[in-house]
Amino acid sequence: MSELIHKKHNVSVLLYHLVCPTKYRKAVITPDIDEKLKEICEQISLRYEMSFWRSELTQSTCIFWYSRC
């Protein structure tokens, strides 16, 4: 999981951990929303040179691990 990122002048392994709980921990993340979030993550990764390592989606929380390329 800790892959080195080689740029022009540096090498990095910085990983970010993003947690997005729903308000009052209500179960609102359905399979349709799950698929849409995965599509959005793919679009973000292409646009901003990010790579998503892992994502965990439960009914009340979204957790993402990502790094900048």
DSSP 6-61: E-SS-EE---EEEEEEPGGG-----HHHHHHHHHHHHHHHHHTTEEEEEEEE-SSE
Give 12-68's CATH code, choosing from 3.30.70.1290, 1.10.10.10, 3.20.20.210, 3.40.50.2300.
Answer: 3.30.70.1290
Domain positions in the chain are 12-68
Rounded to two decimals, the pTM is: 0.64
Q: Dump pLDDT digits (tens) for 40-58.
A: 888 988 898 888 888 888 8
Q: Dump pLDDT digits (tens) for 2-53.
A: 577 788 898 877 788 888 888 887 788 888 988 898 898 889 888 988 888 8
